[in-house]
Amino acid sequence: MAKPASVIEMAARKVVALAGNPNVGKTCIFNNLTGARQHVGNWPGVTVEKKEGYFVYNGEKVRVVDLPGIYSLGAYSEDEVVARNYLLSGDAGVVINIIDASNLERNLYLTVQMLEMGTNVVAALNMVDEAEVRGIKVNTDKLARILGIPVVPTVAPKKRGMAELVAAAMQETMKSREPLKILYGKEVEEELAKLEALIDKHPMLTAKLSSRWLAVKLLEGDDYALRQVGKDILQQREESIRRIEENSGQDAESLIVEGRYGFIAGIVEETVTRRKTPEERLTLSDKIDKIVTHRVLGIPIFLAAMWAVFQFTFTLGDPLIGYVETFFEWLGGLAGAWITNEVLASLVVDGIIGGVGSVLVFIPPIFLLFLAISFLEDSGYMARAAYVTDRFMHTLGLHGKSFIPLLIGFGCNVPAVMATRTLENKRDRIITLLITPFMSCAARLPVYVLFVGAFFAQREGLVIFSLYLLGIVIAILMGMLFKTLFFKGEQAPFVMELPPYRMPTLKGTLIHMWERGYSFIRKAGTIIFGVVVLIWLLSNIPFGVPVEQSLIGRLGQLMTPIFAPCGFGTWEAAVALSFGILAKEAVVGTLGVVYGVGEEGLATAITQYFTPLSAYAFMAMTLLYIPCVAVIGAIKRETNWKWAGFAVGYTLAIGWIVAFLIYQGGKLLGLG
Amino acid sequence: MAVLPLGFLAPGRVATVKDIIGGRNLRCRLTELGFVAGAKVRVFQNQPCGPVIVSLGDGRVAIGRGTAQKIMVEELSAS
pLDDT at A256 over 60: yes
Higher pLDDT, A554 or A655: A655
The residue among A656, A614, A648, A603 whose CA lies nearest residue A629 is: A648
- Rounded distance between C-alpha atoms, residue A445 and residue A656, angstroms: 20
CB atoms B58 and A494 under 8 Å = no
Q: What are phi and psi of A570, to 5 degrees?
A: -120, 150
The whole-number pLDDT of residue A280 equals 62
Residues of chain A positioned with their CB less than 8 A from the CB of B22: 493
Categorize the per-residue pLDDT at A502 as very low, low, confident or very high, splitting at 50, 70 and 90: confident
Please enumerate in sequence order all residues whose Cβ is within 8 A of that of A39, keeping only pairs 6 or more positions apart, or say none: A51, A52, A53
**pLDDT tens digits for A37-59?**
666 665 655 556 778 888 999 88
Phi-psi region of A518 (alpha: psi -120 to 50; beta: other; left: phi over 0): alpha
Question: Which pLDDT score is estimated for A46?
Answer: 56
How large is the average pLDDT for residues A10-28?
Answer: 83
With a cut of 60, say whether residue A229 has pLDDT above it. Answer: yes
**CB pairs below 8 Å between A and B: how many?**
129
Point out which residues pair with A57 in neighbouring strands.
Answer: A60
**In sequence order, what are the residues at sequence separation of 6 or more whose Cβ sits closer than 8 angstroms to the Cβ of residue A518?**
A40
User: Which span out of A244-258, A570-584, A615-629 was modeled with the highest average pLDDT?
Assistant: A615-629
Least confident of A285-294, A357-366, A599-608: A357-366
Measured between beta carbons, the chain A residues lying within 8 angstroms of B28 are 74, 76, 253, 257
- Asked whether the beta carbons of A436 and A406 are under 8 A apart, the reply is yes
What CATH number belongs to A186-274? 1.10.287.1770
How confident is the prediction for chain A on average, in pLDDT?
Answer: 84
User: What is the reported pLDDT for A88?
Assistant: 85
**Residue A618: pLDDT band by 50, 70, 90 thresholds?**
very high
Residue B48 C-alpha, separation from nearest chain A C-alpha, in angstroms: 9
**Which tens digit of pLDDT belongs to each residue from A195-227?**
999 999 988 888 878 899 999 999 988 888 888
For residue A75, pLDDT over 80 is answered with no
Residue A127's identity, in one-letter code, is M
| pLDDT (average), residues A261-288 | 81
Q: In chain A, whose CA is at the least distance from the CA of B30?
A: A495
Position A528 scores a pLDDT of 64
CATH for B70: 2.30.30.90
| Angle, vertex CA A29, rays to CA A23 and CA A33, nearest 5 | 160
Q: How much is the pLDDT for A7?
A: 45
Confidence at residue A262, expressed as pLDDT on a 0 to 100 scale: 87
pLDDT of A331 above 80? yes
- Average pLDDT of A437-448? 87
What pLDDT shows up at residue B54? 92
Q: Give the domain ranges of chain A.
A: 14-172, 186-274
Q: Is the pLDDT of residue A1 over 50?
A: no
For A396, A421, A642, A650, the CA distances from A636, given in Å and listed in that order, are: 23, 13, 8, 15
Q: What is the pLDDT of residue A8?
A: 46
Burial degree of A433 (CB within 10 A; 0-12, 13-18, 19+): buried
For the segment A181-208, the average pLDDT, to the nearest whole number, is: 90
Per-residue pLDDT averaged across A449-471, rounded? 88
Q: How far is A530 from chain B (nearest CA, A)?
A: 43
> Which helix or strand (DSSP H or E) is residue A57 part of?
strand A49-57
What integer pLDDT is reported at residue A271 of this predicted model? Answer: 92
Between positions 34 and 63 of B, the ones with CB within 8 A of A are 34, 36-42, 44-45, 47-51, 53, 55-63
Any idea which of A68-77, A149-158, A502-511 has the lowest mean pLDDT?
A: A68-77
Please tell me the total count of domains within chain B. Answer: 1
Ranges A137-146, A641-650, B41-50: which has the least confidence = B41-50
pLDDT at A281: 65
CATH superfamily of A14-172: P-loop containing nucleotide triphosphate hydrolases (3.40.50.300)
* pLDDT of the residue at A345: 84
Identify the domain containing residue B39 by its residue range.
3-77
- Spell out which residues of chain B touch residue A76, defining contact as CB-CB under 8 Å: 25, 28-29, 32
